[in-house]
Amino acid sequence: MTETVITDDGVRLWASRSGQGEPLVLCHGGPGLWDMFEDVTAMLEDRATVIRWDQRGCGRSERCAGPWTTERFVADLDAVRRHFGLERMALLGHSWGAQLALSYTLAHPDRVDGLVYVGGTGIDPWSSWRGHFGENFLARLGEMPERLARWQELPDGDRERAVLQWSVDFEDRERALEHAGRMAEPWFEINFECNQALGAQTKQTLGTAELYDSCQALTVPVLIVDGERDPRPRWAVDSLERALPRVRRSVVTGAGHLPWVEDPKGFREAVRSWAGSVRESPA
């Protein structure tokens, strides 16, 4: 069931609700991309009411002029919560969406029952891990020189270039292009203005004393899920794990940046086990 969420500044957001149970709102990666959580929804909707949405200016949501700030996106996520009549909700965010879900939880801890932080990069400075990721990216794509050459010659925003780029995120190199191709179905225009503006703001926010202190004071339970073979170095997330007082960490072996794709059983069991423990041991 698809619905339209209207934000407080009048922007129309695409959203979808399915399943039954306690509400779970998903936050997709990017920034500037769109919801790609069909598989996650299918594996969790028998236990939860799963709500998906495209962030402003992205995917099926209304194209707009921003503003492209974390604060604005946090407010948009709260508009999704209000639209569906939720007093509280659990959040699951992936990659940039993990950072957005964390930002929302820090801003509104009284509205969040739990946070699943998947494939994020922690709270240390952006520069502490980005160079390592760049090296890993080029090394993995360079395993097939023709793919690296093709990626380099295509323009930003090209679908084939995006699929080649996303193929790096999968450990199974034989199926990497297949998995990445599914991420591009359907295909929407990448919002690079959104990507660049939020990326610049995130660089300024990460590594600050305020962020560390806020995480240390957070009492909402958090599950960190890592794909063991994510090209983004997993030690970058140690900073967040150290800061959080109520945290569990689960490593999905043999999986890359989208662990639910390469090990759906392991991912599903990690999330369900954690959710069960949270229900049994409330704060």
pLDDT at 265 over 90: yes
pLDDT of res. 44: 97
The label of the residue with tokens 């991912």 reads 267
The whole-angstrom separation of Cα 34 and Cα 227 is 21
pLDDT of res. 109: 98
The whole-angstrom separation of Cα 281 and Cα 283 is 7
Nearest by Cα to 132 from 241, 255, 231: 231
Model confidence at 282, pLDDT cuts 50, 70, 90, reads low
Q: Residues 6 or more apart from 259 whose CB is under 8 A from it? A: 118, 119, 225, 226, 227, 230, 252, 266, 267
Cβ count within 10 A of residue 227: 28
The whole-angstrom separation of Cα 147 and Cα 104 is 38
pLDDT of res. 72: 98
Q: What are the residue ranges of helices labelled H in the chain? A: 38-44, 70-83, 96-107, 127-141, 145-153, 159-167, 176-183, 192-205, 209-216, 238-243, 259-262, 264-280
User: 232-260: per-residue pLDDT in tens?
Assistant: 999 999 999 999 999 999 999 999 999 99
Strand arrangement of the beta sheet that strand 12-19 belongs to: 2-6, 12-19, 48-53, 22-27, 89-94, 112-118, 222-227, 247-252
Helix (H, G, I), strand (E, B) or coil at 49: strand
Q: Token pair of 144, please?
A: 């097939």
pLDDT at 7 over 70: yes
| Amino acid code (one letter) for 68 | W
Question: Looking at residue 262, what DSSP letter applies?
Answer: H
Q: Which residues sit opposite 23 in a β-bridge?
A: 49
pLDDT at 39 over 90: yes
Model confidence at 279, pLDDT cuts 50, 70, 90, reads confident
Decide: residue 85, CB within 10 A, 0-12 exposed, 13-18 middle, 19+ buried.
exposed
Domains of the chain, by residue range, sit at: 2-131+189-280
User: 165-194: per-residue pLDDT in tens?
Assistant: 999 999 999 999 999 999 999 999 999 999
- Phi and psi torsions of 251, nearest 5°: -105, 120
User: 120-170: per-residue pLDDT in tens?
Assistant: 999 999 999 999 999 999 999 999 999 999 999 999 999 999 999 999 999
Contact (Cβ atoms closer than 8 angstroms) between residue 176 and residue 167: yes
Going 232 to 235 to 236 to 242, the CA torsion angle's sign is: positive
Nearest by Cα to 84 from 184, 197, 2: 2
- The architecture that CATH gives domain 2-131+189-280 is 3-Layer(aba) Sandwich (3.40)
Contact (Cβ atoms closer than 8 angstroms) between residue 53 and residue 15: yes
Helix (H, G, I), strand (E, B) or coil at 17: strand
